[in-house]
């Protein structure tokens, strides 16, 4: 509890003691009023002051105005005890709300407390402690056991374990050695490491993650915006209804003024929309914080709400459902040796960063480095065209062979096939295979149990795509897609799907599809600029199960939001009717306001608890 909270609590306790004294001590007439005015102004002066300030700025109808009118009206009608009690309990509710919100913010801040304070940089042979923002790309930093890794880097010396829980949500430490990439914000566990910086602090993973979380509240969910608009209309409507309740029966029916003014004041107290205005945003805030604990970064509550309505999840294949760790499983040469075919393919693919190209390069003979390609041209969605020692070499898929009017031979199998042609003549094909991730099948099964359809979009050929789809029991698979075809295929799925459609990809090659989907989720995006920019949610490791967890968290968050809305409105409407009919007094009105707000806020805080949600 902060110092401000402690002062507020002390003020409430002193006012409560004075309230009890005023109630118990018998005092005549005006002295009784004065005795109650002391605790009233002690506990409620700030509410009255904010109400006056808001009126001066043209913002009349808010909870401060409602509490001021209701309590002043109670005092004026001789209900001194009720007037003070309403203000007391209102302030108790405000204090509870402030403490609850503060705790949820602190919990999220603790979860995201990954900002490094310093970096140990090697300069002139010595380790110097500097601000991470002052470290340049290429400099060597020293990482000591127990320290937070300050910048994205690559290990150059040493081996050990790294705790990535703050970024990925993964509790099991990851072993690292020379050549492995390290992500800022994670913790070096047990060894002294030296690493070369790959990104300046402003472009590092930790800086981007913090920026993403800090700005997540800017994109509000439709439900959140509705509650805000509802409160703007609801509050003045209730004020005028209370005014009508106070005036019409006495003027039109000759009823006693005191009775109907009291009912109108009860009406005002009940109508305060605090329970909704606070608990709904707090529920979304808790859901976003809880998702962060599981390594799922959400850019706004609107995406959390949309994901809860997902009717289909569309997956990219390579690197999303499969490991993306390709290796050459077969070589089928035509008119040359297998070594020569591999060498030509490797030289043509040498400058490509595609996983298939790297697999071919890894399997090629050592002499591949000799006589490299003179020119290489990337052909989007097809392959490459290269000039190698005066020979025109093509390496790519069957569509490339068709475009060049070359008859491809064979190429059947469960892997990815790279066809090779030399000077217009077919030279054979190379089969590259990939492995399905261990938790891909359980993830698809869990989506099915949720009633969510699982679809795969891939540029891979039909045979290998269907082999993976059969293994995972996907509902639908679309293969042989050019990059631009993926967007069209996604739009077609969105048209025929009843609910929202989410797309899961690597965030780099699939940036257009991530942007087009109702919700784009970038997987395994540690350090990926394109992923964080293009996606609506960022999954900080490469486990498909995070997708199911994100959906489960979003659905749970929305259940809590709807519970709060239904509960608050049901209680308030019931007591509003009872108050108008004369069956509810000011004490019941206090419960309908403060009590309901407390219960709704406690329920909202459950959104922070996500342990077990993803199981």
CB of 547 within 8 A of CB of 443?
yes
Residue/partner pairs of 67-75 with CB below 8 Å, 24 or more apart: 67/269, 67/272, 68/44, 69/239, 69/265, 69/268, 70/265, 70/266, 70/268, 70/269, 71/40, 71/44, 73/261, 73/264, 73/265, 73/268, 74/262, 74/265, 74/586, 75/33, 75/36, 75/37, 75/40
Tokens of 49: 């002051």
* Strands laid side by side in the 416-422 sheet: 327-333, 425-433, 416-422, 391-396, 383-388, 375-379
- H helix or E strand, kind and range, residue 415: none
Q: Is 176 left (phi over 0), alpha (psi -120 to 50) or beta?
A: beta
Cα torsion angle, 138, 144, 145, 149, sign = negative
Cα separation, 307 vs 447, whole angstroms? 13
Question: Which one-letter DSSP state was computed for residue 178?
Answer: T
Number of helices (H) and strands (E), helices first, in the chain? 21, 22
142: Cβ contacts below 8 Å, ≥ 6 apart? 120, 121, 122, 127, 192, 193, 194
94: Cβ contacts below 8 Å, ≥ 6 apart? 8
203: Cβ contacts below 8 Å, ≥ 6 apart? 152, 529
Tokens of 153: 């880097």
Catalytic annotation present for 460: no
Distance of CA 35 to the CA centre of its chain: 52
Q: Is 413 left (phi over 0), alpha (psi -120 to 50) or beta?
A: left
* Strands laid side by side in the 310-316 sheet: 296-298, 537-539, 519-523, 500-505, 310-316, 453-457, 476-478
Q: Which residue among the candidates 316, 518, 536, 541 is catalytic per the annotation?
A: 316
| Residue 424: φ, ψ to 5° | 80, 0
Would you list the DSSP string of 190-216?
Answer: SS-EEEEE-S-GGGSHHHHHHHHHHTG
Question: Which one-letter DSSP state was computed for residue 592?
Answer: I
Enumerate the active-site residues: 316
């Amino acid at each position: 509890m902060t110092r401000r909270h402690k002062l507020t609590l002390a003020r409430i306790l002193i006012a409560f003691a004075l309230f009890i004294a005023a109630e118990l001590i018998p005092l005549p007439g005006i002295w009784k009023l004065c005795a109650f005015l002391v605790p009233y102004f002690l506990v409620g002066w700030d509410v009255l002051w904010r109400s006056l300030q808001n009126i001066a700025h043209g913002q009349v109808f808010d909870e401060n105005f409602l509490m001021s009118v209701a309590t002043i009206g109670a005092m004026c009608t001789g209900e001194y005890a009720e007037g003070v009690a309403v203000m007391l309990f209102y302030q108790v509710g405000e204090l509870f709300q402030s403490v609850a919100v503060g705790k949820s913010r602190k919990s999220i801040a603790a979860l995201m407390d990954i900002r490094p304070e310093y970096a140990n940089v090697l300069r002139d042979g010595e380790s110097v402690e500097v601000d991470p923002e002052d470290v340049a790309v290429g400099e060597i930093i020293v990482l000591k056991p127990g320290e937070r890794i300050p910048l994205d880097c690559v290990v150059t010396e040493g081996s050990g374990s790294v705790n990535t829980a703050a970024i990925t949500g993964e509790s099991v430490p990851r072993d690292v050695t020379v050549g492995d990439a390290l992500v800022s914000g994670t913790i070096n566990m047990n060894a002294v490491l030296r690493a070369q910086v790959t990104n300046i602090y402003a472009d590092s993973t930790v800086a981007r993650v913090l920026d993403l979380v800090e700005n997540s509240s800017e994109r509000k969910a439709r439900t959140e915006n509705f509650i805000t608009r509802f409160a703007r209309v609801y509050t003045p409507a209730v004020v005028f209804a209370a005014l009508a309740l106070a005036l019409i029966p006495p003027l039109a029916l000759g009823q006693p003024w005191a009775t109907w003014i009291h009912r109108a004041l009860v009406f005002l107290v009940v109508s305060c929309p605090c329970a909704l205005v606070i608990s709904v945003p707090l529920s979304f805030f808790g859901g976003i914080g809880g998702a962060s604990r599981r390594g799922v970064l959400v850019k706004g509550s609107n995406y959390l709400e949309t994901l809860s309505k997902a009717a289909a999840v569309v997956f990219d294949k390579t690197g999303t459902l499969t490991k993306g760790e390709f290796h050459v499983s077969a070589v089928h040469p035509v008119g040359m040796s297998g070594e020569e075919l591999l060498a030509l393919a490797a030289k043509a693919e040498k400058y490509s960063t595609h996983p298939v190209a790297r697999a071919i390069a890894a399997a090629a003979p050592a002499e591949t480095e000799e006589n490299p390609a003179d020119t290489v041209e990337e052909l989007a969605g097809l392959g490459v065209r290269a000039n190698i020692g005066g020979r025109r070499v093509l390496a790519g898929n069957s569509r490339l062979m068709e475009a060049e009017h070359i008859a491809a031979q064979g190429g059947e199998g469960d892997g990815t096939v790279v066809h090779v042609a030399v000077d217009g003549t077919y030279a054979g094909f190379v089969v590259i295979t990939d492995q399905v991730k261990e938790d891909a099948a359980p993830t698809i099964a869990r989506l099915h149990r949720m009633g969510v359809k699982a679809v795969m979009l891939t540029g891979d050929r039909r045979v290998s795509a269907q082999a993976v789809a059969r293994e995972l029991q996907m509902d639908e698979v679309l293969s042989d897609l050019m990059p631009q075809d993926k967007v069209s295929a996604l739009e077609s799925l969105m048209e025929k799907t009843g609910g929202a459609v989410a797309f899961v990809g690597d965030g780099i090659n699939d940036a257009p599809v991530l942007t087009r989907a109702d919700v784009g989720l970038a997987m395994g995006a540690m350090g990926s600029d394109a992923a964080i920019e293009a996606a609506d949610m960022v999954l900080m490791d490469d486990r498909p199960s995070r997708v199911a967890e994100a959906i489960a968290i979003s659905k749970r968050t929305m259940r809590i939001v709807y519970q709060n809305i239904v509960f608050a409105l049901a209680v308030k409407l019931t007591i509003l009717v009872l108050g108008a009919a004369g069956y509810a007094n000011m004490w019941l009105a206090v419960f309908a306001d403060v009590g309901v707000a407390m219960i709704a806020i406690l329920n909202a805080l459950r959104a922070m608890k996500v342990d077990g949600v993803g199981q």
